[in-house]
Structure 1
């Protein structure tokens, strides 16, 4: 573990005479220390030294007005957890643009088949589907008998690394064509299984997801394989189409879309929601879309990793060895970044600092896994937006205690600079 105090300088080697003089002055100072007046200046404590005592395995960086005030282990690699979403957000804003809107394409043939083909839209929710349906209906020349879900825009060889495939919503499977974050909000009582939200009707997929859970209210993740059936059932129920068959398949070659839906929310709003709720599904859908945007459809994990590596190296200018990319949400423990590289990323992301959640008067993204407790964001004092990083890969979660001490140190430095000469 290395600790650096900003503003220190190495001491050069002097002659024997200078060495003797220094020893003489030291002896004089020792002999007079006991008669110094009360309030005399004590030896300075390096900035951040008391903060460093709270860190067992981790690092931090505190800045003020483009200057590093204090840092600990700035070049060591740590697991970023959900602070990694800042990297995905920055890449998406660069590659796609802050006003980008995700596409969902609809095709119809003369056999009563409606094809729904997604392109990774992360926030296609029940309310948005209800609002689009009148436009979709007007493009259809005959009743819908079969809904076919085309998810070929994603070609994934497995779930997100780090996913436990648990009943936690953050473990929802990814799919090019998905609705409601690929989760179902349901209620189980003596009457059976039903939807727990008014905008979403009762669906057969809910009973399957509930399994043998006890009575209660749940938000449950679906697998990537279940996503298509969920989409088909939701569209059929909201449209009032009775007896519609749901299938998985591909859009026939040469068939043109009858309707293209563009997400109501632009990318900047989707990213703001992703950062606020730390939504892994949104993050990895965006991560995969960026890879496809750069290297072509279908989206793959490899294309996403390659896209983020190129962005961090060429646009953010992170040096080789200062980060490692596995996926885009921070769920994987194979993601790595140094505090100094995260600081550079935060400086790049500063124009979008307002998209981060508010915390303790600043704009902060947290990152949490078992044994991983991080903060990355900006302290707002005296008109400045100063980035800071706290990365703890240790059993004890004392990141708030560290942040409080860094805040006090930051305010002292700000007050010193604003004081009149």
Structure 2
């Protein structure tokens, strides 16, 4: 009888000990606003134990934590030596200072390419004694296919720079700026000032109104063909000019206009046609511009949550995987194939629509994201991806995350953020009090503080995250 009792007590204590290691996420979830949905999972990578599990198999919007998948896929497919190339090619000869045929400008989706870099590239034509182009200007953007935005991107965000199209031809992030002068009498129209370097047109009817009318005002941008933007609405009088940024809507036309303008600035004559064929072009390379290598691009993508780098790599990985022009759909197929085949990630019924996380069609559960984090940690000696994650209180998108900026969490939590309207996600790593690495995934969707949004928007989030991650630290 005594032996039975002793055995029973030991087993009971083991159960209590095991149970105590679990962080009670459900209780902590009460810190969040009513109506918010939470999915959370955390794993002690030292012991291999799941130490927190709350709705971890529920599909939710990953937002920019999606870039974690993209970073891993890019590493596995492209490798550290990868660089985007922008090239000038021709199949013609140079005679008496003239290129006797066409000039091909081959774009491959470089998300960091600037107009200054393009100018320097075109300036190299002078080294070939080219002062005139007798043929046509051919823009080769064939590396990507179909739409330059993912399915499920919100329509009324498409004019915003964070939604700029990650096209094959991508200059200055396909974003431009316009100055508005609203220092006009009430009833008069706002004046628009478009910097001369942008080959776009902005016009509109924006009225200056008094203080009583201003709360009812809204500015709307209507996009027309050939990168023409019409601004409507009203605005309160402003003493100083202010800037608005917009996404380029037709990247090919935008790039073609800039190339022609820069050729003229360089004194290179051109009077032919601009052509944008669907087929890839070949020829003798006259000059090339290379982007920064992949590790640098990934660090910027992860630290700053750069959408254009993410979706450029998303489709480029598909192009390399399938050896054909890449659409967003092909990008999703490639990402799943690569990560399931090489990293053993089981996506199940997950939906992948893009590489940035902008799409409202993406559906991922925390358990699936955890698989990617585990693979990264296990292979960090080869991948070197943990160093790309933002560090709480130090850099990137969690440098000022309210619940994580005090010890012992500051400089300890490494996490990719994911934010959309009503979405506050984290996916990353931390070290607990015993020096063991923890991988965690936090998906919060449907977050709203209603009428108190302006005053208390993040207060519940700060309280929740501070208590949760301190509990993980003490685990």
**Alpha-carbon distance in 2 for matches of 1:105, 1:123:** 15
Counterpart of 1:35?
Answer: none
1:227 to 247, 251, 254: 251
75, 83, 87: which one aligns with 1:101 = 83
Q: CA RMSD in A?
A: 3.3
Q: Deviations over 1:104-147 (max 9, x none)?
A: 22123444642212122221113433443443432463424653
After superposing the two structures, state which structure 1 stretch, 133-142 or 154-163, moved more.
133-142
What is residue 370 of structure 1 aligned with on the other side?
421
- Aligned position for 2:194: 194
**Offset at residue 372 of structure 1 (A):** 2.3
1:156 maps to 146
CA apart distance, 1:253: 8.4
Q: Would the alpha carbon gap of residues 373 and 230 (structure 1) be closer, same or farther in structure 2, given more than 3 Å must change?
A: same
Alignment of 1:55-204 (within 5 A): 56-66=36-46, 67-108=49-90, 109=92, 110-111=99-100, 113-139=102-128, 141-144=130-133, 147-157=137-147, 159-165=149-155, 166-189=158-181, 192-195=192-195, 202-204=197-199
1:328 to 342, 355, 372: 355
- Runs of at least 5 residues in structure 1 that lack an aligned partner in the other structure: 1-16, 23-42, 196-200, 414-421
| Offset, 1:266 | 0.8
Q: Give the whole-Å Cα distance in 2 for the aligned partners of 1:251 and 1:76.
A: 41
Equivalent residue, structure 2, for 1:48: 24
Structure 2 unaligned regions, length at least 5: 10-18, 93-98, 182-189, 203-226, 236-240, 393-403, 405-410, 449-457
SS of equivalent to 1:69 = strand
Higher CA-based Rg? 1
State the shift of 1:277 in Å. Answer: 2.6
Q: Which residue of 1 aligns with 2:386?
A: 353
Find the residue that maps to 1:337 and give its secondary structure: coil
Pairing 1:211-250 to 2, within 5 Å after superposition: 211-212=230-231, 216-223=242-249, 226-239=250-263, 240-241=265-266, 244=270, 247-250=274-277
Is residue 104–residue 119 contact of structure 1 (8 Å, CA) maintained in 2? yes
Aligned equivalents of 2:430, 2:44: Cα separation in 1:
9
Q: Summarize the Cα distance change of 1:91–1:184 in structure 2 as closer, same or farther, 3 Å threshold.
A: same
Secondary structure, counterpart of 1:47 in structure 2: coil
Q: Are the counterparts in 2 of residues 288 and 299 from structure 1 also a CA contact under 8 Å? A: yes
**1:129-188 deviations in whole A, cap 9, x for unaligned?**
344344343246342465332222221156311223432112222322221121113334
Q: 256, 263, 271: which is aligned to 2:298?
A: 271
Q: Report how many residues are paired.
A: 369
Q: TM-score, normalised by structure 2?
A: 0.69
Report if the CA contact (8 A) 1:82-1:278 is conserved. Answer: yes
